[in-house]
Structure 1
Amino acid sequence: MNQTQTIFLQEMSKLKTKQAQWEPFAWYKEMRENSPVFYDAGQNVWNVFLYDDVKRVLVDHRLFSNKKERSFIPVPRDDNRTNINFCDPPEHRTRRGLLAQAFTPRSLREWEPRIQAIADELIAEIEGQATVDIVQKLAIPLPVTVIAELLGVPSRDRELIKAWSDILFYPYSKETFGDVAEQKAQALKEFSDYLYPIVQEKRKHPADDIISDLTRATLEGEQLTDAEVVRFSIGLLGAGNETTTMLISNIFYSMLFDQPGIYREIRADLSLVPKLIEEVLRYRFPVAIDRQVAQDTTVFGHNLKKGQIVVAWTGAANRDESKFDHAENFDIHRPNNQHHLTFGAGPHLCLGAPLARMEANIALTTFVKRFADIYPAEGFNVVEHLTDSAVGQSLKSLPIRLEKA
């Protein structure tokens, strides 16, 4: 992706500091109330912030296409058959179908014992410690180990995989564009070089994993080439750990800071774990998704022209008071918190959402059984623990104090 194709979100949001990017929610509220459909002339980009408008952009692929020439999405892309994120139905349905069977409820049930074993192992390593960095010790290693094993990649290489994924998801900025683009190209090359021999081996000796399935799959009547299997695998390895790491990290942050004391309520009633997960996804995920206007339209009361880009601020939609009562409050008992748009909507609803939910559920349930309570580390200042991520900031570390059960 070159600079002229890249949309710089921070230029539009005016959220310049780490703290503002970590907590963009006041800006979201201001935009919902005062500029719910906002045109940024500097980058020729429309922005929508209300729930119904955001959902319309995500669902209506005839008006808002995923075939886009510009994007803020930081992952380098090729316009080829492996690209499920930059195409529309019916092509999208066919390509997605190659991967979808790995994420069916039946497939996930088969993987559940292994995910549980990985979580048990990671949490056992934490026991006996008074303070632990929950991001480094649980939120990062669990998802990358799980997705590596699902694909059939050696989990011992998880640190390499995580490092490449981090670079590929690192956001662009005008000031550092050239350096970041170079790092991404290098990471993509190294990641591809690493996967090629694994794919070739799976083609000769298939096993029970996703890469083996892809080597046997056909698309448009032809088998996928090794290069296409590599590209599919990179997409899954990257996306398969990025969002889930952020989810698990944010769950612990929310229990400590968004609703202190909720940990003990969860511990007393583990059936609340799924509700906590959905509320964290709704409340603390500053996510945005972009689409290209497919035809001239006045759907939002403005003249949107074919070829322009629309950014749908899902993180803002998730706090729309017209959809969620007292939306600025963190409330796991909210009856409709699962209606958030964090995983998207429509044909591009995140393929890995059920896996992310399962991993978070297993991780939290297992953790809560082992520890009576958690507390923030003394002197914790969130700004010191943040790192740049696709749409703002995410936690790179979160030290917490543990009380043994």
Structure 2
Amino acid sequence: MNQNILLNEISKLKSKQSQWEPFAWYKEMRENSPVFYDAEQDVWNVFLYEHAKRVLFDHELFSNKKERSLIPTPSKSFDNRSNVNMVDPPEHRKRRALQSQAFTPRSLKEWEPRIQAIVDELIADMEGESTLDIMEKLAIPLPVTVIAELLGVPSKDRRLIKSWSDILFLPYNKEAFVDIDQQKRQAMKEFRDYLFPIVQEKRKHPVDDIISDLTKAELEGEQLTDEEVVMSAIGLLGAGNETTTKLISNVFYCILFDKPGIYQELRSDVSLVPNMIEEVLRFRFTAHMDRRVAQDTNVFGHEMKEGQVIVAWIGSANRDESEFAHAEEFDIHRPNIQHHLSFGSGPHFCLGAPLARMEARIALTAFVKRFADIRPVAGFEVTEHLADSVLGQSLENLPIMVDHNK
């Protein structure tokens, strides 16, 4: 059986438009098949908030030690102690502690001025333009520049890093499985060959960055090997890139198409920016997370067998009316705005969530202060600007018109 789970085969959503806006299908599943078994791939699927949260939290029933996954990386690539994803507590806590030092509030506070400087530079580059592609100008360069700097990788190589992580995050599909797998193995090999000498250099001459910290970190009295540091760095470079780019691009899409008029509300009160970001994460993040059923259970009223896979459809859980009143409305004033599950929940809560939030907050705040208004470009058709990614369809370009402050 294929080790990679193909989500589009489960949802049967084939068009770009339906994959970009799967929300009607989510609603149908919540109402008619909240616990759904896909016999073809032997995968359980849950769509309700409470169910999704239980899957993410309860590692005794739903384990992260798994042979099959949605994560579209060549399967053997991450089989070592640097992998924080494919393990459960207590082992998970030890591995995660190595990487989490880089994302403590204190560390992030120190990085904030540097992130602000990168944002200011990117926004200064938009000076004088009336139409621009917000992906090219902000959503793509910001996260990859920030994570490259944090890790201590030369920022001049950021296009290389971006292209490798894009390939690693390509979803598999039935038709081109072998070809995509080959591309991923090649990208992984090039990425590793690139990082190895950097890691060796930092082990000899550590500086103030995450790769240097990882070379010094100890796990049960032993240091990580060069290979483990390289794989940690690849994991962080990939994850710190893809999700934040999607978040920033979705912020601008929501401003333009989901809640026209909200831009002026943000301009009149920039303290609403963090709320805006949380609501974008709830409203327009088509994420999914998988686990292995660790023991036979009927916790959701169906007989699930040990070894089967279960997928929590996070984008659906985030629109569950039982948790979010008027869930299909975009509302930055909802009281439980942070209850969404887009960064996961429980022990595997996304390590980079505080960094992603900070980048999006700094970027959006600087942008609304700088530009009087934004509008969609005439004739914009979203399906012409999408690319397939592990997070569903993602914006590849987003051309917008901007009015400069007088």
- The TM-score with structure 2 as length reference comes to 0.98
Q: Which residue of 2 aligns with 1:23?
A: 21
2:37 is aligned to 39
Structure 2 residue corresponding to 1:64, chosen from 58, 62, 67 = 62
CA contact (8 A) 1:62 1:294 kept: yes
Please state how far the C-alpha of 1:82 moved relative to its aligned partner.
1.1
Query: Structure 1 CA distance, aligned partners of 2:216 and 2:78?
Result: 22
1:310 match: secondary structure: strand
Partner of 2:52: 54
- The DSSP-based 3-state class of the residue aligned with 2:138 is helix
Matched with 1:366 is 366
Structure 1 residue 187: deviation in Å?
0.2
Shift of 1:377: 0.8
- Structure 1 equivalent of residue 2 of structure 2: 4
Find the aligned partners of 1:32 and 1:337 in 2 and give their Cα distance: 21
User: Which residue identity is paired with 2:260?
Assistant: P
Matched, 1:207 2:235: no
Helix, strand or coil: the match of 1:73?
Answer: coil
In structure 1, the residue matched to 2:185 is 185
3-state secondary structure, aligned to 1:394 = strand
Amino acid at match of 2:372: A
Letter of the structure 2 residue corresponding to residue 20 of structure 1:
S
Aligned ranges for residues 5-404 of structure 1 at < 5 Å?
A: 5-76=3-74, 77-404=77-404
For residues 19 and 165 of structure 2, the distance between their equivalents in structure 1, rounded to whole angstroms, comes to 21
Post-superposition Cα deviations, 1:288-317, rounded to whole Å, max 9, x if no partner, equal 000000000010000000000000001000
CA contact (8 A) 1:202 1:212 kept: yes
Deviation track 1:84-103 (CA, whole Å, cap 9, x = no partner) reads 01110011100000011110
Whether contact under 8 Å (1:9, 1:391) holds in the other structure is no
Q: Is the 8 A contact 2:371 2:403 kept in 1?
A: yes
Q: Which AA in structure 2 matches 1:332?
A: I
Query: How many angstroms does 1:219 deviate by?
Result: 1.3
SS in 2 for 1:380: coil
Q: SS at 2:78's partner residue? A: coil
User: Matched residues in 2 for 1:169 and 1:250: separation?
Assistant: 18
4+ residue segments displaced more than 6 Å: none
Q: Equivalent residue of 1:57, what SS?
A: helix
Distance 1:73 1:21 in 2: 18
TM score, norm. by length of structure 1: 0.99
The residue type paired with residue 363 of structure 1 is A
- 8 A Cα contact 1:386 1:394, kept in partner: yes
For residue 240 of structure 2, give the secondary structure of its aligned residue in structure 1: helix
Deviation of 1:79 after TM superposition, in Å, equals 2.1
| 2: CA distance, partners of 1:177 / 1:168 | 13
Measure, in 1, the Cα distance between the counterparts of 2:391 and 2:365: 29
Distance in 2 between residues matched to 1:222 and 1:341, nearest whole Å: 35
> Cα deviation per residue 1:221-270 (whole Å; 9 max; x = unaligned)?
21111111000000000000110000000000000000001001100000
Q: CA offsets, 1:113-155, max 9 Å, x none?
A: 0000000000000111010000111000000000000000001
Runs of 5+ unmatched residues, structure 2? none
Q: State which drifts further: 153-162 or 67-76.
A: 67-76
Q: Describe the SS at the equivalent of 1:4.
A: coil
Please say if residues 51 and 320 of structure 1, whose CA atoms lie closer than 8 Å, have aligned partners that are also in contact. Answer: yes
Unaligned runs of 5+ in 1: none
User: Alpha-carbon deviations, 1:22-61, whole Å to 9, x = none?
Assistant: 0000000000000000000111100000000000000000
Compute the displacement of 1:323 (Å): 0.3
Three-state SS of the structure 2 residue aligned to 1:232 is helix
Backbone CA RMSD of aligned residues = 0.7
- Contact 2:170–2:389, Cα closer than 8 Å, also in 1: yes
